[in-house]
């Protein structure tokens, strides 16, 4: 029977708590590289955030292809105050489309469920003719219900779908940070290649 080395685990655990070892998470942001979609803040260049794709990066400048256009913008690295990388694009448009299609399907189903089979007007009686003229067919009922359900479905899909996720990143290859740890503070050193 093998003895469980409790002392070794206890000593390593105490050292980790006292020293404040902070293990880097797997989803810690990586360095900015060409091809990544980024959101930058550079107050001396623009008063609003700049969103686009990094097409070039050197020691002095970052070249950004702006969102929605073909123009590129060269930013001095010293002017950039914050950098965020996109982890996934917004799915709001797809959510609105799916919601509208669900609303359309609901309208068709309800239209066929509540619509009447309207036949030709029969009889010479005035009251019978008025009642038959007020008959709402399945297609007409689906169209009327669709006026409400398609926009409601699109709005619901838009509200539920996730937007773009941004995470802080760095232009630096070497970064040193003080991070909170259990029982004190820890020092995180990152070297990115």
CATH number of the domain that 42 lies in? 2.30.30.100
Domain identity same for 118 and 100:
yes
In a domain, 104, yes or no: yes
Name the most confidently modeled range: 11-25, 46-60, 175-189: 46-60
Domain identity same for 84 and 96:
no
Query: What is the 8-class DSSP label of residue 47?
Result: S
For the entire predicted model, the pTM comes to: 0.53
**What are the C-alpha distances in Å from 31 to residues 35, 74, 116, 160?**
12, 18, 64, 31
How do residues 82-107 score in pLDDT, each as one tens digit?
888 888 788 999 999 999 999 999 99
Structural domain containing residue 40: 30-88
Pairing of strands 174-181, 184-191: antiparallel
Arithmetic mean of pLDDT, 95-123: 86
């Amino acid at each position: 029977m093998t003895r469980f080395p409790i002392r070794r685990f206890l000593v390593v655990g105490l050292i980790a708590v006292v020293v404040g070892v902070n293990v880097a998470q797997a989803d810690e942001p990586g360095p900015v590289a060409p091809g990544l979609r980024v959101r930058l803040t550079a107050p001396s260049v623009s008063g609003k955030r700049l969103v686009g794709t990094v097409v070039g990066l050197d020691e002095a400048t970052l070249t950004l292809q702006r969102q929605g256009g073909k123009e590129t913008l060269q930013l001095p690295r010293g002017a950039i105050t914050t950098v965020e990388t996109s982890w996934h694009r917004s799915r709001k448009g797809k959510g609105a489309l799916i919601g509208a299609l669900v609303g359309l399907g609901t309208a068709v189903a309800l239209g066929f469920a509540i619509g009447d089979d309207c036949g030709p007007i029969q009889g010479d009686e005035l009251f019978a003719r008025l009642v038959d003229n007020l008959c709402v067919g399945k297609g007409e009922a689906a169209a009327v219900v669709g006026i409400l359900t398609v926009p409601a479905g699109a709005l619901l899909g838009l509200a539920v779908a996730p937007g773009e996720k941004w995470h802080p990143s760095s232009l630096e290859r070497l970064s040193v940070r003080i991070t909170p740890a259990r029982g004190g503070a820890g020092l995180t050193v990152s070297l990115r290649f």
